[in-house]
Amino acid sequence: MCRDVQGDTPASSPRHEEGKAMIELLQKHASALPGIWAMDTARYLLAAGLVEAGEHVAAVGCEEVAERAGRNNRRLAMRKPLLVAKQGRRPTGLLGKLVARVMARQTAAENDIVLELLRLDPADCVLEVGCGHGNTLAKAAGLASRGSHCGVDFSSVMHRHASRRHRGLVREGRVGFHLGGSERLPYPDRAFDKAYAVHTVYFWGAPLEHLTEIHRVLRPGGRFVLAFRPAEDTRFCATHPSEIYCIRPEGEIADLVGRAGFDAVDTLRRAVDTKLMSFIVAARPS
């Protein structure tokens, strides 16, 4: 059931609009979903700051949930629960698919900036580390139309989703999606001209190990872009549990990139929508 809470959120706020989209998705699939899906969806809605839900959204009906979404408790919803944070790190099951869909929308702007910073040439071979839904790699394939491109992700849910969503590019041999971790990339030395990773560095227990692997698979002169929200974004730190997200200062990450063997390390900081984003642009020495 859903329980009334105190506090007001403007009906036109981005959080409320996102909540309506999630509720519409739940309505569309409700008849085919087991009870655990309803529970997980309720938890997601709470994490998005939309509604405090109990065991099952379906118990009170989606319309009731939508109505109460405008009266959510901001304080309770402020901190992303561990359940959803874990899904952000490594999506699993039905909830993982939902969270991944939301993440694809929420991170589209910074992914587009990364593609600009890569300065893609038509024949470039591109690697995305933590490719998730694969949408950004598909865009890269359109910009570097004569190259071959690879995406790696350690979530089997995301690997299947990306492979199916972009099966046309996969069949043509232009894009390949691989299941694996970036601490040991499944590619030979000097295989790529460009590489990038967006919102992945928080989940690397030993970032230098991952960065060294990316350096290994880049060709001399190859360009690398790393995008993330830094510890300087205090709101991001406050709302994402440290048990899952290891959020480091921008300078520390830039130093690690240099220690991994990259040079020409340049750091850019931009406000993207409501987020403070850092972009580190580096190259493997020629």
Q: Write the pLDDT tens digit of every residue in 246-273.
A: 999 999 999 999 999 999 889 999 999 8
The answer to whether residues 74 and 214 belong to one domain is: no
Q: What is the 3-state secondary structure (H, E, C) of 79-112?
A: CCCHHHHHHHHCCCHHHHHHHHHHHHHHCHHHHH
pLDDT bin (cut points 50, 70, 90) of residue 24 is low
189 inside domain: yes
The answer to whether residues 238 and 153 belong to one domain is: yes
What integer best gives the mean pLDDT of the chain?
78
Across residues 11-16, what is the average pLDDT?
51
* Of 155, 153, 123, 154, residue with least CA distance to 136: 153
The per-residue pLDDT for range 200-221, each reduced to its tens digit, is 999 998 999 999 999 999 999 9
Residue that terminates a domain, selected from 78, 99, 123: 78
The answer to whether residues 132 and 248 belong to one domain is: yes
The per-residue pLDDT for range 223-237, each reduced to its tens digit, is 999 999 999 998 888
Residue 245: its pLDDT value, please?
Answer: 86
**195 has which bridge partners?**
127, 224
CATH number of the structural domain spanning residue 198: 3.40.50.150
84 inside domain: no
The answer to whether residues 74 and 150 belong to one domain is: no
Question: Residue 154: helix, strand or coil by DSSP?
Answer: coil
The answer to whether residues 146 and 255 belong to one domain is: yes
What is the C-alpha separation between 78 and 24, in angstroms, rounded?
23
99 inside domain: no
State the residue range of the domain holding 73: 14-78
More confident residue, 24 or 260: 260
- Torsions phi, psi for 181 (to 5 deg): -105, 155
More confident residue, 75 or 253: 253
5 inside domain: no
Count of domains observed in the chain = 2
More confident residue, 76 or 286: 286
193 inside domain: yes
Residue that terminates a domain, selected from 23, 57, 78: 78
Question: Residue 282: helix, strand or coil by DSSP?
Answer: strand
More confident residue, 65 or 245: 245
Read off the pTM. 0.70
The per-residue pLDDT for range 54-68, each reduced to its tens digit, is 333 444 454 454 444
The answer to whether residues 62 and 119 belong to one domain is: no
